[in-house]
């Protein structure tokens, strides 16, 4: 088929349109290049106590997850809160004509690039020099700390006054701002709640560069929004953390179960007890692990060595209940009697009772010992495709049957934590998202992938396994919520927040309307316009 010839007039119009489009695109390209090339110069001109680094930015383009790498244009090393405020205010004033965003990076322990900012500015929060840590003892003791301070340093400083924070994470080499932007949970959460339930006051730099002091009574909407807010509403630059009298020693106990239902019943019994049974309650899953009890003998002692030596764990899925009781040295006999009484009410395998007595610091900093070992073997900086879930109590048996009984068949390349917490210890005004039931479980698959492996310990296999777990949770309608969540679309984030989405969006609009902050979370995207 032949087409009619195009008229000369029409040809000239087409050429004119094409020329215009080429010119327009060239201008946009030039404008973008000019915009990007001018970014370092505008940042260099800012009056700061600290400094920017525009060359050595590669460290800020990686995190503990070791799966995503997004290069920023600059890394800010602040010495004062005003450095952070000045930088963010400058980017805010640049408006939507700049694609610059800002991410706060503490110890870089994020898993999915949440502390990174592609072609943006990463703030090294550990460079923040002020305010200096100060402990306030008294009837309601607390400690004032920088948002970039590590929890391990807070522990050592507060212990000088015989005090310590109430709630912890399992790993203490994390920053205050990082854990408070998520929740901060460990085996103390059943009693004291997460770390975000143990904060008096915050100082926050919003997405407009405003420095705001907030608490339950002062600027409370920002206070609650920032806690568990995934860095979306402001950067935590100072926190006032609740303290309590610290113990001298810890009785550390592990026992095993072969039946999940019995294991869960005992865990729930302990966290619901009217009297204070234990100070720390966690659990973990052991799949097809041989010689298990022999691995514990370096730090735990069996109550009955003969029975323990006869126990065979090969090929079975087992569930370990881990407990801790804090005490002072003059309470040793009383505490021993209490523990014996509590343990007599539980239905664990009697031959698997292992005990240890350690200092309070040794117990709380226990994960760091594993870190040192893994680093020495070159196994720390590997991909960590972790999956952390909150699961309602009513669905935990269904979850266990499918996941531990069918989906996971090989030995896990990393611990699998599982323990219940009480919803009553969480403040529902914060941004943290949890299930609706009074008791829910944390289940954390803390796997490490072996680089270049194509086997069951390889990254692709672990990611496929995680996907199967999530797909089951969705099809079975378990009402699961992700902890340290990661989604790629706003529709998924909307589903994650559920009925609380509108409140979160309203807070975002109020405190970070240009979506400058925490781009690595992939919740909101800065709209760029070129006029």
Q: How does strand 301-302 pair with strand 354-359?
A: antiparallel
Contacts of 475 (CB under 8 A, 6+ apart): none
The span from the CA of 429 to the CA of 357, in Å, is 39
Of 77, 83, 99, 109, which residue is the catalytic one?
109
Which residues have CB under 8 Å from 432's CB, separation 6+?
A: 182, 183, 194, 196, 227, 228, 426
Residue 170 annotated to the active site: yes
Residue 89 annotated in active site:
no
Alpha-carbon dihedral of residues 404, 292, 189, 436, nearest 10 degrees? 10
Read off φ and ψ for residue 117, nearest 5 degrees. Answer: -140, 100
The burial of 119, by beta-carbon neighbours within 10 Å (0-12 exposed, 13-18 middle, 19 or more buried), is given as middle
What DSSP assignment string belongs to 165-217? ES---S---SBHHHHHTT----TTHHHH--GGGSEEEEEEEETTS-EEEEESS
- Tell me the two tokens of residue 220: 């409370």
Catalytic residue among 149, 282, 365, 512: 282
- Active-site residue, from 157, 170, 357, 402: 170
> Phi, psi at residue 129, to the nearest 5°?
-85, -25
Which two structure tokens, joined as six digits, stand for 79?
């010495």
Listed in sequence order, the residues at least 6 apart from 382 whose beta carbon sits closer than 8 Å to its beta carbon are 66, 448, 449, 450, 451
Q: For the chain, how big is the Rg over CA atoms in Å?
A: 26
Nearest to 130 by CA among 73, 181, 179, 85: 85
In the residue annotation, 109 being an active-site residue is answered as yes
Q: Among all chains, which residue has been given the structure tokens 């969006």? A: 505
**DSSP run (H or E) holding 86:** helix 81-94
Which residues are known to be catalytic? 109, 170, 282
């Amino acid at each position: 088929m032949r087409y009619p010839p195009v008229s000369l007039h029409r040809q000239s119009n087409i050429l004119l349109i094409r020329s215009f489009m080429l010119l327009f695109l060239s201008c946009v390209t030039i404008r973008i290049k000019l915009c990007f090339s001018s970014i370092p110069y505008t940042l260099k001109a800012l009056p700061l106590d600290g400094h920017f680094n525009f060359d050595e930015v590669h460290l800020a383009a990686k995190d503990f997850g070791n799966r995503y790498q997004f290069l920023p244009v600059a890394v800010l090393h602040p010495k004062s809160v005003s450095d952070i405020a000045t930088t963010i205010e400058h980017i805010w004033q640049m408006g939507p004509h700049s694609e610059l965003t800002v991410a706060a990076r503490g110890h870089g322990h994020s898993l999915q690039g949440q502390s990174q900012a592609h072609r943006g500015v990463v703030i090294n929060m550990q460079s923040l020099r002020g305010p200096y840590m100060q402990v306030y003892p008294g009837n309601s003791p607390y400690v004032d700390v920088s948002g970039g301070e590590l929890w391990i340093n807070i522990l050592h400083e507060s212990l000088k006054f015989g005090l310590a924070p109430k709630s912890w994470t399992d790993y203490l080499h994390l920053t205050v701002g990082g854990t408070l932007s998520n929740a901060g949970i460990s085996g103390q959460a059943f009693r004291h709640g997460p770390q975000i339930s143990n904060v008096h006051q915050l100082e926050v730099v919003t997405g407009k560069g405003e420095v705001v002091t907030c608490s339950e009574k002062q600027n409370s909407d920002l206070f609650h929004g920032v806690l568990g807010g995934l860095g979306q509403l402001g950067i935590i630059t100072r926190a006032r953390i609740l303290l309590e009298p610290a113990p001298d020693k810890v009785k550390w106990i592990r026992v095993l179960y072969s039946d999940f239902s019995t294991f869960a019943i005992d865990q729930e019994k302990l966290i619901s007890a009217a009297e204070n049974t234990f100070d720390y309650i966690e659990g973990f899953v052991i799949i097809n692990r041989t010689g298990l009890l022999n691995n514990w003998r370096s730090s735990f002692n069996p109550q009955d060595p003969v029975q323990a030596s006869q126990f065979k764990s090969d090929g079975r899925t087992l569930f370990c209940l881990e407990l801790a009781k804090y005490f002072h040295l003059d309470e040793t006999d009383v505490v021993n009697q209490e523990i014996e009484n509590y343990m007599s009410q539980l239905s664990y395998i009697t031959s698997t009772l292992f005990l240890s007595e350690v200092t309070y610091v040794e117990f709380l900093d226990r994960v760091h010992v594993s870190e040192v070992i893994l680093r020495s073997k070159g196994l720390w900086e590997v991909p960590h495709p972790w999956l952390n879930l909150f699961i309602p109590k009513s669905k935990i048996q269904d979850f266990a049957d499918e996941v531990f009984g069918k989906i996971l068949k090989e030995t896990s390349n990393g611990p699998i934590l599982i323990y219940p917490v009480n919803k009553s210890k969480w403040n529902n005004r914060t941004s943290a998202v949890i299930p609706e039931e009074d008791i829910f479980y944390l289940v954390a698959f803390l796997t490490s992938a072996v680089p270049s492996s194509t086997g069951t310990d390889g990254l692709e296999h672990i990611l496929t396994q995680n996907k199967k777990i999530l797909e089951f949770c969705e099809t079975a309608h378990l009402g699961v919520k992700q902890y340290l969540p990661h989604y790629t679309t706003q529709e998924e984030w909307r589903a994650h927040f559920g009925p609380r989405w509108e409140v979160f969006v309203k807070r975002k609009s109020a405190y970070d309307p240009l979506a400058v902050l925490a781009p690595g979370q992939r919740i909101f995207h800065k709209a760029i316009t070129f006029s």
